[in-house]
Amino acid sequence: MLEWRAMFEVRLQTYWGDADAVGIVFFPNYFKFVAQAEEELYRSCGIVKDKLMEKHQLWIPRVEVFAKFSIPIRNGAAIRVRLKPTFPGEKAIRFDFEIADDDHERGRADR
């Protein structure tokens, strides 16, 4: 297994449409944030994911997704999404990820 020792981090904003009726980010949206971070990772390398897939006739399907939730993120929060890619085989990429509320990361829980 190849391992990329670097971690990629992107800051994103949550919006009203990401949250449920009580203002907590609805759990499927966490996976949307990971997908956005993955595209930003490619973009930071000068690669457009769609063009990469088209050029090399690739599909990059999700075959497994797992998340463990510990602290809810509220509507309007700035978040940090961290990706750590590993390559478990010749034809696979695995992204370990972490999503954190930026205010809690910086010690400002005054919301």
Q: What is the pLDDT of residues 65-98, one digit of tens each?
A: 889 999 999 999 999 999 998 888 888 888 899 9
Question: What is the pTM for the complete model shown?
Answer: 0.81
Q: 100 lies in a domain? A: yes
Q: 101 lies in a domain? A: yes
Place of tokens 């971690």: 7
Task: Give the residues across from 78 on adjacent strands.
Answer: 13
Written as six digits, the tokens of 24 are 């907590």
Q: 110 lies in a domain? A: no
pLDDT per residue as tens digits for the range 9-29: 999 999 999 999 999 999 999
H/E stretch holding 105 reads helix 102-105
Structural domain boundaries enclosing 76: 2-105
Q: 23 lies in a domain? A: yes
Whether the per-residue pLDDT at 2 is higher than 50: the answer is yes
Measured CA angle at 68 (ends 23, 76), to 5 deg: 25
- Count structural domains, the chain: 1
